[in-house]
């Protein structure tokens, strides 16, 4: 089989991924990794500048063109070549950065993550194998990855943004393994008959396999992989002992919350509502009440000052306001123009919209609190007010996280995306599926980050959809809170 870096790495995870890709790719479940790819592209581009001047091998569907262009560059003693491409016995690879010093070579594999994972070592070991097989003297193999501790001040400092880790010794120690693995892959791929391979931990590590649903389709509908919150490791521990059906799991010593999820779904239980605890939660809330939800984006390469790679940067919020429990619902919102640092404008509007010392409600408030704390640190003149918002925040998730209110249709989750349809199954106005374009936080973030790719007119429509999504997030909180009041009221009757 004609191998590449990515194919080799897939086979390291599981040979069958490669086999299904070739013979049965239609059974895959798509995994959305568009933002990961986008981050990877930006990081790759920037890392090319790490060692000064370089020549880029032109990408071509025809790999021979890339290989021939690389040969030309090497002949002309170009010191730094990016995407340098090679083929050794049907094993192809493009090296992110190749440094040439006379007849010695260094290879650099660029990753957009903040740490090194084992699969990166397999990746670069495969590249070394290819170059070494062609007789090139590779003296150094390094992984280049993002330094999470970097904070941007002014121009990007590439030497600080990237960590360069020398992994030559590990790469050398893995060469026999690479050789054997390539033989194994070739034999495996020659077989046209599908292997009956059992699922295992490797289906999720290093990446969630798109074929998991297909490979686990023989399991009955309710099984251990449907349990929310249990670690993958524990799920496979039970699976390997043959304990994976809900009915079998009921006799296991597992967390009460898992047992409760199983019991509710198996036995079609009535809703569980612990009035006393819900009352206690409601007693912590005071009016006027502000329902707050942020949308944020993350960048591998910080665009603005005082930001680290992958830090959450707020660009939008929705705020519903109730002056008293029965008063008219008010709403305000913020959505920055794209391509400008949104933080100061957002912080200014936030302190204008939310007075000091009022009760603020969020769902999973640690996220909102983190955002506010960073803004307070960044803008000392707003710090006191922002920290007052921070200190007066309450978490609407608590009654659901504590299972004071639980229904079988929450499927073990306390995310608002599960809680809301479980509490309001027939309310179309609360159904995220009815929204256009933006249905969840990551879509909001991706949409914001790609907004400038669209025409002005298109941007207007997209922005409206973004506002509608964020509006629903806080409106959902208003409705969830009203439901809590309702069950308490009904209990009194």
Q: Is 142 in contact with 107 (CB distance < 8 Å)?
A: yes
Q: Which is nearer to ligand SF4, 233 or 331 (CB)?
A: 233
Q: How far is CA 138 from the centre of its chain?
A: 35
Q: Which is nearer to ligand SF4, 50 or 209 (CB)?
A: 209
Q: Which is nearer to ligand SF4, 16 or 257 (CB)?
A: 16
According to CB under 6 A, which residues from 263 to 292 bind ligand SF4? none
Count of residues near ligand SF4 by CB under 6 A: 12
Residue 248 CB, nearest approach to ligand SF4 (Å): 22
Q: Which is nearer to ligand SF4, 28 or 63 (CB)?
A: 28
| Part of the chain binding ligand SF4 (CB under 6 A), chosen from 13-21, 64-72, 268-276, 447-455 | 13-21
Residue 210 CB, nearest approach to ligand SF4 (Å): 7
Residue 218 CB, nearest approach to ligand SF4 (Å): 12
Residue 200 CB, nearest approach to ligand SF4 (Å): 7
In the set 16, 48, 257, 463, which binds ligand SF4 (CB under 6 A)?
Answer: 16
Q: How far is CA 258 from the centre of its chain?
A: 25
Total number of residues shown for the chain: 493
According to CB under 6 A, which residues from 102 to 161 bind ligand SF4? none
Q: Which is nearer to ligand SF4, 204 or 287 (CB)?
A: 204
d(CA 132, CA 141): 12
Q: Which of 331, 327, 261, 329 is nearest to 293 (CA)?
A: 331
Mapped onto helix, strand or coil, the DSSP state of residue 104 is: strand
**Tokens 């640190």, located at residue:** 377
Residue 212 CB, nearest approach to ligand SF4 (Å): 4
Q: Which is nearer to ligand SF4, 20 or 484 (CB)?
A: 20
Residue 179 CB, nearest approach to ligand SF4 (Å): 22
Residue 123 CB, nearest approach to ligand SF4 (Å): 17
Q: Which of 223, 222, 224 is nearest to 234 (CA)?
A: 224
Residue 40 CB, nearest approach to ligand SF4 (Å): 22
Q: Which is nearer to ligand SF4, 75 or 192 (CB)?
A: 192
What is the DSSP code string of 31-62?
---HHHHHHHHHHHHHHGGGGS--EEPPP-SS
Q: Which of 337, 316, 368 is nearest to 472 (CA)?
A: 316
d(CA 58, CA 36): 23
Q: Which is nearer to ligand SF4, 20 or 477 (CB)?
A: 20
Stated as kind and residue range, the H or E segment containing 422 is helix 416-423
User: Binding marks (x or -) toward ligand SF4, 183..222, rule CB under 6 A?
Assistant: --------------x-x--xx-----x-xx--x-------
d(CA 184, CA 162): 35
Q: Which is nearer to ligand SF4, 28 or 449 (CB)?
A: 28
- Residues in CB range of 433: below 8 A, 6 or more apart: 439
Residue 198 CB, nearest approach to ligand SF4 (Å): 7
CA angle 54, 120, 112 (to 5 degrees): 60
d(CA 360, CA 294): 13
Q: Which of 204, 223, 203 is nearest to 215 (CA)?
A: 203
**Tokens 């960048």, located at residue:** 299
Residue 208 CB, nearest approach to ligand SF4 (Å): 9
Mapped onto helix, strand or coil, the DSSP state of residue 489 is: helix
Pull the structure tokens for residue 62.
């025809």
Residue 249 CB, nearest approach to ligand SF4 (Å): 21
d(CA 430, CA 479): 9
d(CA 107, CA 98): 5
Q: Which is nearer to ligand SF4, 212 or 287 (CB)?
A: 212
Q: Which is nearer to ligand SF4, 202 or 432 (CB)?
A: 202
In the set 9, 11, 14, 372, which binds ligand SF4 (CB under 6 A)?
Answer: 14
17: contact with ligand SF4 by CB under 6 A: yes
- Residues in CB range of 363: below 8 A, 6 or more apart: 293, 395, 396, 397, 416, 473, 476, 477, 480
In the set 3, 9, 12, 20, which binds ligand SF4 (CB under 6 A)?
Answer: 20
397: contact with ligand SF4 by CB under 6 A: no
Mapped onto helix, strand or coil, the DSSP state of residue 429 is: helix
| Part of the chain binding ligand SF4 (CB under 6 A), chosen from 10-18, 95-103, 410-418, 448-456 | 10-18
Residue 130 CB, nearest approach to ligand SF4 (Å): 25
Q: Which is nearer to ligand SF4, 212 or 485 (CB)?
A: 212
- What are the φ/ψ torsions at residue 273 (nearest 5 degrees)? -135, 115
Mapped onto helix, strand or coil, the DSSP state of residue 475 is: helix
| Part of the chain binding ligand SF4 (CB under 6 A), chosen from 15-23, 72-80, 128-136, 476-484 | 15-23
Q: What residues make contact with ligand SF4 under the rule CB under 6 A?
A: 14, 16-17, 20, 197, 199, 202-203, 209, 211-212, 215
């Amino acid at each position: 089989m004609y191998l590449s870096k990515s194919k080799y790495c897939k086979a390291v995870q599981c040979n069958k991924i490669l086999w299904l890709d070739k013979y049965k790719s239609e059974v895959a479940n798509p995994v959305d990794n568009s933002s990961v790819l986008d981050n990877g592209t930006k990081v790759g581009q920037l890392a090319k500048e790490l060692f000064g001047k370089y020549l880029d091998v032109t990408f071509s569907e025809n790999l021979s063109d890339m290989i021939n262009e690389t040969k030309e560059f090497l002949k002309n003693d170009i010191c730094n070549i990016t995407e340098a491409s090679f083929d050794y016995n049907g094993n192809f690879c493009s090296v992110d950065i190749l440094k040439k010093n006379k007849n010695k070579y260094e290879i650099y594999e660029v990753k957009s993550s903040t740490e090194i994972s084992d699969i990166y070592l397999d990746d670069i070991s495969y590249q070394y194998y290819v170059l070494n097989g062609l007789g090139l003297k590779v003296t150094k193999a390094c992984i280049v990855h993002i330094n999470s501790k970097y904070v941007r001040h002014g121009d990007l400092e590439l030497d600080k943004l990237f960590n360069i880790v020398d992994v030559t010794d590990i790469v050398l120690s893995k060469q026999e393994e690479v050789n054997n693995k390539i033989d194994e892959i070739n034999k495996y791929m020659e077989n046209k008959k599908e292997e009956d391979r059992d699922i295992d931990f490797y289906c999720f590590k290093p990446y969630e396999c798109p074929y998991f649903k297909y490979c686990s389709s023989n399991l009955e509908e309710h099984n251990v992989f449907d349990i929310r919150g249990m670690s993958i490791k524990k799920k496979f521990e039970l699976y390997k002992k043959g304990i994976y059906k809900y009915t079998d799991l009921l006799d296991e010593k597992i967390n009460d919350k898992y047992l409760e999820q199983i019991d509710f779904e198996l036995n079609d239980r009535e809703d569980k509502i612990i009035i006393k605890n819900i009352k206690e939660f409601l007693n912590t809330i005071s009016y006027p009440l502000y329902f707050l939800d942020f949308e944020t984006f993350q960048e591998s390469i910080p665009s603005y000052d005082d930001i680290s790679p992958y830090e959450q940067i707020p660009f939008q919020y929705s705020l519903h306001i109730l002056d008293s429990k029965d008063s008219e619902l008010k709403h305000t919102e913020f959505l920055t123009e794209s391509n400008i640092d949104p933080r100061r404008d957002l912080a200014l509007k936030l302190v204008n919209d939310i007075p000091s010392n009022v009760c603020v409600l969020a769902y999973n408030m640690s996220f909102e609190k983190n955002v506010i704390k960073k803004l307070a640190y960044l803008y000392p003149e707003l710090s006191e007010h922002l920290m007052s918002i921070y200190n007066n925040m309450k978490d609407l998730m608590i009654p659901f996280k504590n299972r004071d209110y639980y229904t079988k249709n929450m499927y073990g989750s306390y995310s608002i995306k599960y809680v809301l349809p479980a509490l309001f199954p027939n309310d179309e106005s609360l159904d995220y599926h009815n929204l256009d374009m933006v249905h969840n936080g990551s879509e909001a973030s991706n949409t914001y980050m790609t907004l400038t790719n669209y025409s002005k007119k298109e941007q207007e429509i997209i922005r409206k959809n973004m506002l509608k999504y964020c509006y629903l997030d806080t409106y959902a909180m208003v409705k969830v809170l009203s439901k809590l009041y309702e069950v308490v009221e009904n209990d009194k009757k």
